[in-house]
Structure 1
């Protein structure tokens, strides 16, 4: 698995590596001796100790046995699995199709009271129309080389999005103005999507802010697409993976960035004017 761009995931891996390093040091053996006892090469020991390669459960068992600490193996295996779960490869997640991926978010959505979403390139999933979602998801299936279930996945995404009409949830969404110009699907699908933004932005539970392209002296440059669920989890969407940020200090950084981005956005009549301008540009 590639090294995670999230320091939350990497820090968790490094804690596992540190525990294994400490076990070897406490046992008074060198990296070369450990490699011999485990039946592998010294470079592998080095990669594991430096958190460049995550250990398999079998690696951990051998390591603990070599250090006379077999009683610690189960705990370290569990810790390593937790570390790896912070970084989820899209390809592995979507093997069973995109519909199942859409449904996998339902429980998290229902338990979240305040959603903060920043998207520099796409209409947020909770505000997508069926045509827009279908075009986006179909593109994703081709990129990931998986079966195209975009139609079912789009329907599942729309069903999940009904949460914006349910009481007990609030949604603060930010997009860059460029999102209004990146056409997904045909002209009619894009026009319908932009029209829905006019409607959705007026919903009582939804705050939709748009950061104008002409913003001068930006206080923060465009960031990666991220969702903040209450104050407990940040989900960052990358091309190849989703990174989950759980460390409080890093969540605080995303919250700070979100507020800085929010300070540059326009709302209400000004936001609607930008959407109408984008609709006009389609024709």
Structure 2
């Protein structure tokens, strides 16, 4: 369908464009509010700064589409194909994206607050500075994704895959990720105060300069983790595995370290009671 014809039909009140072929179409800045684009072919289409508020794009093919700064609040994109699409700065507040395919997509600076991303594939996606506050990422695949400086406060992450994710400088305060496999995750300078990481698997994770005050790390596996200059004041590290972890310059005032495993931690001076709480010191000697 020609873009001009589409817009003429829209002006006439037509809202049903299910299955339409708009591949490679130039749709920059168009206003298509509340339209039905289910199953549409929008591969490679340019929708930069378009308005698709409350529109239904479920099952649409949107690989490589350009959705820079597109307004799609309360839109429905269930099972939509957006692999390698560009959604830089897109506005997707309260949108329904269950099962959406966003592998390798660019969502830097996108606003996905309160969005439903259950079962979404975000593997390897670029999500720097994305807003995911109160979003539902249950059963989503976020492996290898870049979530640096992302806001995830209040997000639901039940059974979300987070292996080797970059969460440096991310806002994760109060997040519940107890029991998660977080191998290879980068938490450099992340804000995790008050989060629940009980029983998490964090071998060789980068937690340098992270804010971990009052975090629950009970029985967490931190073997070989980098905790240099991290703040763990008031944290619960009971029975945590800290073998070969690097605690250079770590702040542990008021931390609980009962029965923590501390063999071969670095540096050796960190075992002094004035740097580590008495619980860790007594366990070490």
TM-score (norm 2): 0.27
More strand by share: 1
Q: Which has the higher contact order (CA 8 A, sep 6+)?
A: 1
More helix by share: 1
